[in-house]
Amino acid sequence: MKTKDRTQEQRTKEIKRSRRRIAELEKSEARHKKLEEKLEESQARYQALFDRTLYCVFVHDFDGSFFDGNDAAFKLLGYTRKDFPATFASVLDQDQLAIAVKRGKEIKRTGSTSEPCEYKLRTKSGNYVWVEVESSLIYRGGKPYAIQGIARDVTERKQAEEQIRQSQQRFQGLVETLSDWIWEVDQNGIYTYASPKVRDLLGYKPEELLGKMPFDFMPIEEAQRVKGIFEQLQAARQPLIALENINRHKDGHLVVLETSGIPFFDTEGRFKGYRGVDRDITGRKHAEEALQSSYQQLRETFISTVNALASTVEMKDPYTAGHQRWATRLACAIAKEMGLSEERIEGIRMAGLIHDIGKINIPAEILSKPGQLSDIQYNMVKIHAQVGCDILREIKFPWPVAEIVLQHHERMNGSGYPERRSGDEIILEARILAVADTVEAMASHRPYRVAYGIESALEEISQNRGTLYDPAVVDACLTLFEKGFRFD
């Protein structure tokens, strides 16, 4: 009886245990079902994100074989899901493929997400696009299974960078091949850049200038002069234009540079310094000095020639000795009063000193004859203007000397000689010399008459102002004497 009861008790316990296991299994199955539902929900969300994101997503193994991609990836490369390449080798150049595989194995080894990396991908049409990719591991069963790369299209940025790079290369090439020296200084006037040409101009390597100022390479007095000019322009933010300055070459000899530059500013309008160019003009300056010296020698030769010719006239006509010089002095003073340039005044001076050169063709007895000249004798005197022109026309003066001499006896109303020109047909220089010649001649003694004096001479030109003589010239002459001009 007792044995039977124990058996019944054991069966009851086993039934209870079975019921508990069944309940536990049912609970476990319910938990698994919920987990499966959550997993399916998570996968659905991931798939939706995977398919709809604007970023390109690639899934591949560690050797570069593709498992999957999203619509953005297919669209970027011009493929459909069916004809999408099986491996990276189809879309990556060999060198970049090696980099991608190496990075994939490194991610697998370390288990970490990679830093963004740029790849150049070949599309189905054969064109190329640039992408920036961030890669991470995908696990299955707790073990690394594949790599997921999230990429964004950076083609436009890469193209812009390439354009900038090419532009910089072109600029660099241009700067380094120019015969001029390109430089940049900051707001304190300190060099921040110097092109290689500085080696040819001043003997320094570009890096030797960095941290120094332009004035450090100039003689002391020149440095002070140029620094003063530069500081004024810098304060006003004005450009430097063809500023000549003397510099000392590394070997000690002097070099003349012509400096031009413009101020530059940052994006917020703050002054940052100057960029500019220096040109070696040492040779040009030497040539200018040689030319100036040559010009001075030529001018002295001209003056000596003119003085010799003037002396020839005075030897032939001693009674009018000094007339040409005094008339010239008055003519030059009139021209200056009228505001003529120094160059034109110099032409008047040369012509005035020899304006009577043609008198060497007139017999001395006529030139020195006391008393009134006959008509024939006077007509012989009148040809001196034409003779003088003929003599001087063969000399290559830089001024219209021959024409001035020819026309200095012409009158505004056409009553003069030798060509009876009038008004503006007479060049201004000749109109000036005509007034000066008349005033000096009337004020001086002649063999055939006594001197009329300055007052009579000035009255003569005043009364014939506009008729015989140019009004503006007469006015200037009268003004001079009012200011105290005297022949002595």
Question: β-strand 181-186 against 271-280: which pairing, if any?
Answer: antiparallel
Average pLDDT over residues 329-333: 95
CA–CA separation, 43 vs 470, rounded Å? Answer: 109
List the beta bridge partners of residue 144: 139
Q: Which has the closest alpha carbon to 458: 320, 334, 284? A: 334
CA contacts within 13 A on the Cβ side of 480: 24
Tens of pLDDT, residue by residue over 244-298, are 999 999 999 999 999 999 999 998 899 999 999 999 999 888 888 888 888 788 7
List the beta bridge partners of residue 279: 258
CA–CA separation, 192 vs 209, rounded Å? Answer: 8
CA–CA separation, 53 vs 49, rounded Å? Answer: 6
* Residue 431 · residue 470 · CB < 8 Å: yes
**What's the DSSP call for residue 179?**
S
CA distances from 284 to 150, 214, 222, 281 (A): 65, 21, 19, 5
pTM to 2 decimal places: 0.48
Quick one: pLDDT at residue 191?
96
Lowest mean pLDDT among 29-43, 66-80, 174-188, 262-276: 29-43
pLDDT over threshold 60, residue 37: no
Confidence of residue 117 (pLDDT cuts 50, 70, 90): confident
Quick one: pLDDT at residue 56?
83
Tens of pLDDT, residue by residue over 284-310, are 888 888 888 887 887 777 777 777 777
CA–CA separation, 205 vs 191, rounded Å? Answer: 13
Q: In the chain, pLDDT over 90 holds for what percent of residues?
A: 40
* Residue 256 · residue 245 · CB < 8 Å: yes
Quick one: pLDDT at residue 121?
87
